[in-house]
A and B are shown apart, each in its own frame.
Chain A
Amino acid sequence: MHPSQDSEDFSQPGRRYTSVIHAVGNTPVVRLLPLERETDGSHIYLKLEYANPGGSVKDRAARQMVLDALADGRLRPGMTLIDSTSGNTGVAYAMIGAALGIPVALVMPANVSAPRQAIVRAYGAELILSDPMHGSDGAIEHCQDIVAAAPERYFYCDQYTNPSNPKAHWLSTGPEIHAQIGAELTHVVLGIGTSGTCMGTTRYLRQHLPRVRCLALQPSEALHGLEGLKHMASSLKPAIYDEGVPHQHIAVDTERGWDMADRIARETGLHVGHSSGANIEGAFQVAKAHPNARVLTIACDRGDRYFAPMRWERDYTW
């Protein structure tokens, strides 16, 4: 099938909301036809989480964590929302904080790209940089020190321990996948960072589509370049992570993920980030191994979030 022959009805009018927070979710699914041609009758579905208004899957978790904390009083007027984040969750917090009038402070390793830092500043969030040599775990520890010094001032959202993170995917991502693909779905492949997407979506699918096989994906090495994903064996394990929830665990090399992200941009017009490239590589391997499989994975964010200034642009103010 050629994409131009798609019989989908494109006439559905746009949605209208009173706040950007309601525009989170209900993301489209696109088939990856060039990859499917290299399989034995399998379909590969990519759920475009970058279509969320903050540009990533993290909008879902951030919205749920903030709304739940407002509802039960952990986040009160005058408090600042703080968390450590390698980027996308920070953008989501900053967007939701701006929409709801909540101050936001974000702790990031200093080697997060300059454009990424500029995005969260654009929403008015405060940025606190941690030692790049200690990675995301160093950012977590630095954030905990700040909160411990002034606990009454901060609501520590803590995406790694906050049950509202996987809950967001139990409430939205899982049901959307169920509605979009339904009973024909055979496999889902979900990368693990905080593990919120994987835990919440997998729990939902295992309950409602028990024939679906759920695979969790992580980088193959401790030192990797798949931002947002965690190599669990060498990382602080998120409290929300339960390795028994997925049926199976698979690993992807950084280079394979990066190459797949490049390939997908050129062959499908979907310009995704590196972790999405790894997800697609994992889904592709599963689709090749199982004839007539129906495999879904997600595009966590867009590739343009990873453009970094070149040397001659270093002093350019983004």
Chain B
Amino acid sequence: MSVTIKIPTPLRTLTAGADEVSVEASTIRAAIDALETQYPGIKDRICDEKGIRRFVNVFANEEDIRFLNSLDTELSDKDVVSIVPAIAGGSDPLR
């Protein structure tokens, strides 16, 4: 299924300036892997060996995936995944 990933400004140098990228994926993990395939190097900016890096927030639609099933959070067709820097420890900007 097709999902849209919203890319924050600091990572757009890796996506040739694109602020949104469409990928085929059914989980957050697969979506990030698909993003990495299109734009090599971007995954390390978002994830470390333990999962999503501590200062990065990833939202599936309007929900922080830390409160869902983290990287295994399932996605549906036309879902929107947002990568948001947690610059202040993270209030929910999409609420």
- Tell me if A133 and B8 are in contact (CB < 8 A): yes
Interface residue? A163 (CB, 8 A): no
Distance in angstroms between the alpha carbons of A45 and B11 in the assembled complex: 35
One digit per residue, 1 when the CB lies within 8 angstroms of any chain B CB and 0 when it does not, for chain A 220-258 equals 011111010001001000000000000000000011001
Contact call A134/B85, Cβ cutoff below 8 A? no
Q: How far is the CA of A123 from the CA of B88 in the complex (A)?
A: 20
Residues of the B chain whose Cβ atoms lie less than 8 Å from the Cβ of A255: 48, 53-55
Is the beta-carbon distance between B54 and A223 smaller than 8 angstroms?
no
Interface string of A38-65 (1 = CB under 8 A from B): 0000000000000000000000000000
Q: Number of contacts between A and B (CB, 8 Å)? A: 92
A69 at the interface (CB under 8 A from B): no
Q: Is the CB of B9 within 8 A of A225?
A: no
Distance between A143 CB and nearest chain B CB, rounded to angstroms:
16
B63 to chain A, nearest CB (A): 10
Please pick, from B9, B64, B89, B95, the residue contacting A135 in the complex, using a CB distance under 8 A.
B9
Does A87 interact with chain B (Cβ within 8 Å)? yes
Closest chain B residue to A314, Cβ basis: B92
Interface residues on B, range: 20 to 34
Number of chain A interface residues as a range: 20 to 34
A135 touches B90 (CB 8 A): no
B91 and A114 contacting across the interface, CB-CB below 8 Å:
yes
Interface string of B69-95 (1 = CB under 8 A from A): 000000000000010111111111101
Chain A positions within 8 Å of B, measured between CB atoms, are 86-87, 109-114, 116-117, 132-138, 221-225, 227, 231, 234, 254-255, 258, 306-309, 311, 314
